[in-house]
C-alpha cells in the first residue's frame, strides 16, 4: 500500500499552492498539477502521485465533470456562492467567470446552464452571454424569481418555480 511521505507543514504549504492553481486554471490531468508545481520550484517528491492525491484530498479538490475543482470545502477554501436557480451554495468554481460586461461570476451555476441548454436547445456560450448581459443591464433590479425555470410550464403543464 502506497502512502504519502509529506509532513503536515509540507501538506499545508503545497495545499495552499494547489488551491491557487485550481482557482486560476482549468486543470484536467494530474500531470498538469505536477508540471505547475515543478515550474514553481517545488522538489520532485512533492509531485509523486501518492503525495499529490493525498494533498488534493486534504484541501477538498477532486475531478468534477472532467475538471479538477473544489468538491468539499476546507479551511483553505471558503468561497461559495448561491445559485439563483437551484438555490444551492456551491464553490465559486461552479460559476462562469465573466469578463466582457461584468468582472465577476454569473448568478447561475454551470450545471443549471447546461440543464437549460439541453432543454431549450440554446448553446452554453450563448446562454452565458445572455445571463452576463442580464446581470450587467439589470443589476439593480434582479431577483431570484427572474432565474426560474420558465420552460417548465410550456413543456410539462405545471411549474415548480414559475408563478402564473
CATH of residue 30: 1.10.10
What's the pLDDT at 111? 92
Instruction: State the pTM of this model.
Output: 0.52
What's the pLDDT at 132? 92
Better pLDDT: 152 or 161: 152
Contact, 120 vs 112, CB < 8 A?
Answer: no
Mean pLDDT calculated for residue range 91-117: 87
User: In total, how many domains does the chain have?
Assistant: 2
Mean pLDDT calculated for residue range 93-110: 86
Lookup: cell for 134: 442580464
Asked whether residue 3 is assigned to any structural domain, the reply reads: no
Asked whether residue 162 is assigned to any structural domain, the reply reads: no
Q: How far apart are CA 37 and CA 35, in angstroms?
A: 6
Lookup: cell for 10: 509540507
Q: Residue 63's beta-bridge partner residues? A: 68
Asked whether residue 163 is assigned to any structural domain, the reply reads: no
What's the pLDDT at 124? 93
What's the pLDDT at 159? 63
Amino acid at each position: 500500500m502506497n502512502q504519502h511521505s509529506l509532513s503536515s507543514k509540507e501538506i499545508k504549504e503545497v495545499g495552499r499552492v494547489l488551491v491557487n492553481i485550481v482557482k486560476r486554471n482549468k486543470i484536467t490531468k494530474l500531470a498538469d498539477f505536477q508540471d505547475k508545481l515543478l515550474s514553481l520550484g517545488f522538489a520532485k517528491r512533492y509531485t509523486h502521485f501518492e503525495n499529490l492525491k493525498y494533498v488534493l484530498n486534504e484541501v477538498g479538490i477532486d475531478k468534477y465533470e472532467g475538471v479538477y475543482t473544489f468538491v468539499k470545502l476546507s479551511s483553505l477554501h471558503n468561497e461559495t456562492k448561491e445559485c439563483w436557480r437551484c438555490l444551492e451554495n456551491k464553490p465559486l468554481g461552479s460559476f462562469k467567470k465573466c469578463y466582457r460586461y461584468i468582472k465577476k461570476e454569473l448568478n447561475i451555476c454551470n450545471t443549471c446552464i447546461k440543464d437549460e441548454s439541453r432543454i431549450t436547445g440554446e448553446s452554453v456560450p450563448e446562454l452565458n452571454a445572455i445571463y452576463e448581459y442580464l446581470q450587467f443591464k439589470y443589476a439593480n433590479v434582479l431577483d431570484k424569481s427572474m432565474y426560474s425555470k420558465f420552460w417548465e410550464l410550456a413543456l410539462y403543464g405545471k411549474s415548480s418555480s414559475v408563478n402564473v
